[in-house]
Structure 1
Amino acid sequence: MKLERVLQYAQTLLKASIQEGDIAVDATAGNGHDTLFLANLVGDSGYVYAFDVQKQAVDATLNRLLDNALEHRALVLKDGHENVAKYVTKPVGAAIFNLGYLPGSDHSVITKPNTTTQAIESLLTLLKIGGMIILVIYHGHEGGKEERDEVIQFVSNLPQKYIHVLRYEFLNQKNDPPFIIALEKVKELPVSE
């Protein structure tokens, strides 16, 4: 066995937590790679909800699904991931975020800590037992370190009895390499009053 790179490991975690027929969420559709990967995992009886605030990302994701004849397995929404609960009402097998900006686009359009933590909170409620939220954290851009720090603060305070939180990273890589935070729901969260 050898250590998996960050994106390989994210896919390994998704494969481990998604079964055919599941609902999955791509919280940052980007160029559609994760949406396509999820659409393959959920099968014809499952469904993927993909979110992005940029038309360029929505179009790229739709085209990637169409090119692979999997558009019937996904809904690509031009909306922020903080609104996930408006669209997704059934239990979710897994969700993935790539925090940062859309490669090859306007680098000033970035994910924000407040909407990211709001989306995580909604997804934790929707997540089924054994389901995972995978956060691939890119933090080398302007605003990236603030988001990284707020997300780490937020997930570090999740109750360990209900949510397991893992950090996977290579410590000796240069130039702010991305890393993963994975959240696994092990027990239903208590309903807050």
Structure 2
Amino acid sequence: MQTFNAIKLAQQLLIDKVIMSKFLVDTTAGNGKDSLFLAQNSPIDAMVWSFDIQQTAILKTKELLSKYSLDDKVKLITDSHANIDQHINGKIDVAMFNLGYLPNAQHKITTQCQSTITALQKILGLLSIEGVISIIAYSGHQEGYLESKAVEELLTTLPSNIFTVGCWSMINHNNNPPILYIVEKMRGEAYESAAPQ
């Protein structure tokens, strides 16, 4: 039996959507695993955008994609995901957030509450009908706690006539296990959120 964790579960919940999506985003490239998942499983003519502020993460992602000959399918962007609207104009079918810090790197460089909320709000506005967002949040460090709280507050207030939001966590684990959120846009009404504080 496969062991469940937030990353594997996110992929399992997204796979049916990914295989028929044309525009996909990895908002936190990290070591490139989400970018690889999106590139491997989406249609041959799909496009994946992968964001990270750290050049190390972009290089690790490029190396992993090269190993599978998927370089041409993924546009690597060294920039904050908060600036996603400067790089993508059209609708987004799938977006993945894996928050926190780059594994095996400096823990003081981590995703930030304000930029994450800004990115999430922008993607919610760009999401196609039946589009899906996954967010894995980690509350085990100070910035992660603030970020997790802000993400949950935003998702809780999303209008239920437009979005459906689910949440998964391991309730018998200690040490602040990650929380997975899945957001699906159900209707075509425009979403306009308040500007982040």
User: What TM-score results when the alignment is normalised by the length of structure 1?
Assistant: 0.94
Question: Structure 1: which 5+ runs fail to align?
Answer: none
1:47-126 alignment runs, 5 A limit? 47-126=47-126
- Distance in 1 (CA, whole Å) between partners of 2:39 and 2:182 is 20
1:45 Cα deviation (Å)? 0.3
CA contact (8 A) 2:39 2:48 kept: yes
Q: Report the counterpart of residue 9 of structure 2 in structure 1.
A: 9
Question: Structure 2: which 5+ runs fail to align?
Answer: 193-197
CA contact (8 A) 2:134 2:181 kept: yes
- Distance in 2 (CA, whole Å) between partners of 1:52 and 1:75 is 11
1:168-179 alignment runs, 5 A limit? 168-179=168-179
Count of residue pairs brought into register by the alignment: 193
- Distance in 1 (CA, whole Å) between partners of 2:138 and 2:65 is 25
User: What TM-score results when the alignment is normalised by the length of structure 2?
Assistant: 0.92
Over aligned residue pairs, what C-alpha RMSD do you find?
1.8
Q: Report the counterpart of residue 43 of structure 1 in structure 2.
A: 43
Structure 1 consecutive aligned stretches of length 4 or more whose deviation exceeds 3 Å: 1-4
1:4 Cα deviation (Å)? 3.5
CA contact (8 A) 1:132 1:185 kept: yes
Letter in 1 for 2:68: N
Q: Report the counterpart of residue 32 of structure 1 in structure 2.
A: 32
1:101 Cα deviation (Å)? 0.5
For residue 115 of structure 2, give the secondary structure of its aligned residue in structure 1: helix
Q: Report the counterpart of residue 189 of structure 1 in structure 2.
A: 189
For residue 12 of structure 1, give the secondary structure of its aligned residue in structure 2: helix
